[in-house]
């Protein structure tokens, strides 16, 4: 069984699309979290059955050949690694898909890790990220960035720089355990009750890359500011204020990033005592991350009583084979 972590991106999201970083350079500051996508890959004795491949996720597929598989990522991952049959795959996850935590790419990474293990192969974290990016962007032609695959593959709390799709630099944030604990005490994650496909929102943002160039440049600069806040004696509240500034900038990237429901939620959070926050991922729904002083947590949780809170820890381990 393999597992790969979901992620939270604090700053720089949007600059991880090749449509932007190939010309201007991109970077994100974020962390893998302790919520995972799991994939098991077992040998399947197909001669005992009338099918050769069994794939189980939210549905079950029983097929005789790869071309019959409906799940595009599974189908193309098997082709990419040259596996033709006699395999059973099963996927479960801690959190639902289409929630803004990189779940789709995390599944891709976990699946590829499981398939390599199935073949008896070892692969480095960064090479795993490159392979997932190639599968999603070049083979499946999906409108995705490059941060989700990287966080899922390498894990950790990182500043990640993007030069090319196969030239990514991962810088571990030298944050002390005490500072990390302090940051975690200010973070609360709530589900907005809205599921959406990130690729749809991403497409609208990609079309506006040239128009959003100055805003994206500003968001890239926030990566370095956030890094400095975390690694110096700067009051941690400055991180929350920067999150608020980043969210205001992100909302201008496309009309689909926010909506009246999200705006109302965020306004309620600020009124209850939150310093800042954002919608995770491309926007439009999924999870809302809030930066809340410890003494205001109860008030914010009371204001969000109708929304599911998800406890998280940062700096989670990257993709690995656990069984």
Cite the active site residues: 148
Residue 303 token pair:
């204001």
DSSP per-residue letters across 53-69: EEEESSSEEEESSGGG-
> Taking the C-alpha atoms of 94, 250, 17 and 33 in order, what is their torsion angle to the nearest 10 degrees?
-20
Distance between CA atoms of residues 309 and 250, nearest Å: 23
Cα-Cα-Cα-Cα dihedral sign, residues 131, 98, 261, 308: negative
Instruction: List CB contacts of 35: < 8 A, sequence separation 6 or more.
Output: 5, 6, 94, 95, 101, 310, 312, 316
In sequence order, which residues have a C-beta less than 8 Å from that of residue 85 and are 6 or more positions away? 44, 46, 52, 53, 64, 65, 66
Q: Which helix (H) or strand (E) holds 288?
A: strand 287-291
Residue 46 burial (C-beta neighbours within 10 Å; 0-12, 13-18, 19+) = middle
Give the residue among 169, 190, 171 at the shortest CA–CA distance from 286: 190
Non-local CB neighbours of 149 within 8 Å, separated by 6+ positions:
105, 108, 109, 129, 132, 133, 136
Partners of 88 in the β-ladder = 42, 54
Return the number of other C-beta atoms located less than 10 Å from residue 82's C-beta. 8
């Amino acid at each position: 069984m393999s597992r790969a972590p979901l992620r939270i991106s604090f700053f720089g999201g949007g600059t991880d699309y090749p449509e932007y970083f190939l010309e201007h350079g991109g970077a994100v500051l974020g962390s893998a979290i302790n919520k995972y996508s799991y994939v098991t890959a077992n040998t399947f004795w197909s001669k005992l059955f009338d099918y050769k491949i069994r794939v189980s996720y939210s549905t079950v597929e029983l097929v005789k050949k790869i071309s019959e598989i409906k799940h595009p990522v599974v189908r193309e991952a098997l082709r990419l690694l040259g596996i033709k049959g006699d395999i059973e795959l099963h996927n479960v996850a801690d959190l639902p898909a289409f929630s803004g935590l990189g779940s789709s790419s995390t599944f891709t990474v976990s699946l590829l890790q499981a398939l390599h293990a199935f073949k008896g192969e070892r692969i480095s974290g960064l090479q795993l990220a490159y392979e997932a990016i190639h599968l999603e962007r070049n083979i499946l032609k999906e409108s995705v960035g490059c941060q989700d695959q990287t966080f899922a593959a390498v894990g950790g709390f990182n500043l990640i720089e993007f030069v090319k799709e196969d030239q990514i630099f991962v810088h571990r944030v030298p944050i002390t355990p005490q500072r990390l604990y302090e940051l975690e005490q200010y973070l609360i994650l709530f589900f907005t009750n809205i599921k959406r496909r990130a690729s749809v929102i991403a497409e609208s943002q990609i079309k506006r890359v040239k128009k959003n160039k100055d805003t994206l440049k500003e968001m890239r600069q926030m990566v370095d500011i956030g890094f400095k806040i975390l690694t110096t004696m700067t009051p941690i509240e400055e991180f929350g204020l920067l999150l608020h500034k980043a969210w205001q900038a992100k909302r201008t990237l496309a009309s689909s990033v926010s909506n009246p429901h999200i705006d109302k939620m965020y306004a309620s959070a600020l009124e209850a005592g939150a310093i800042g926050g954002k919608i995770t991922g491309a926007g439009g729904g999924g999870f809302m991350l809030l930066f809340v002083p410890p003494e205001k947590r109860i008030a914010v949780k009371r204001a969000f009583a109708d929304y599911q809170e998800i406890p998280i820890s940062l700096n989670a381990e990257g993709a690995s084979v656990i069984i």
